[in-house]
Amino acid sequence: EADIYQTPRYLVIGTGKKITLECSQTMGHDKMYWYQQDPGMELHLIHYSYGVNSTEKGDLSSESTVSRIRTEHFPLTLESARPSHTSQYLCASTGGPEAFFGQGTRLTVV
């Protein structure tokens, strides 16, 4: 079983607030990813990291930012949340060919 954790699981927040979605893994994986997924829709890669101090933007343009100061930690930040940011955010990591996902954060911006 993969040990990758996301908090919070659910978040309802007002427009304009700054939020940070947490993602941690205890497997020592170098590669970590953030995906965005609307209900019933496909996964979209928004950020990824191949190691400490390495971050890149993914295929889908996102107003969020990420950091990778420690191997196990890959937080995602929205400086000013908007209703268009309402979605599910999924964190994943790989230590080999397969990727493992966290439980996800369901974000609602009102």
DSSP state of 70: B
Beta carbon of residue 72, minimum distance to other proteins (angstroms, whole number): 18
Using CB under 8 A as the binding rule, whether residue 107 contacts other proteins is answered as: no
Binders of other proteins in range 3-62 (CB under 8 A):
30-31, 33, 39, 41-43, 45, 48, 50
Residue 8, preceding peptide bond in cis (omega within 30° of 0): yes
Between 73 and 106, whose beta carbon lies closer to other proteins? Answer: 106
Q: Number of residues in contact with other proteins, rule: CB under 8 A?
A: 23
Using CB under 8 A as the binding rule, whether residue 104 contacts other proteins is answered as: yes
CA-based end-to-end distance of the chain: 35
Using CB under 8 A as the binding rule, whether residue 96 contacts other proteins is answered as: yes
Q: Is 48 exposed, middle or buried (0-12, 13-18, 19+ CB in 10 A)?
A: buried
Rg value, the chain, Cα: 13
Using CB under 8 A as the binding rule, whether residue 108 contacts other proteins is answered as: no
| Beta strands, E only, 1-109 | 4-7, 10-13, 19-25, 31-37, 44-51, 54-57, 65-66, 76-78, 87-94, 99-101, 105-109
Beta carbon of residue 51, minimum distance to other proteins (angstroms, whole number): 8
Contact with other proteins (CB under 8 A) among 7, 65, 67, 106: 106
Beta carbon of residue 101, minimum distance to other proteins (angstroms, whole number): 4
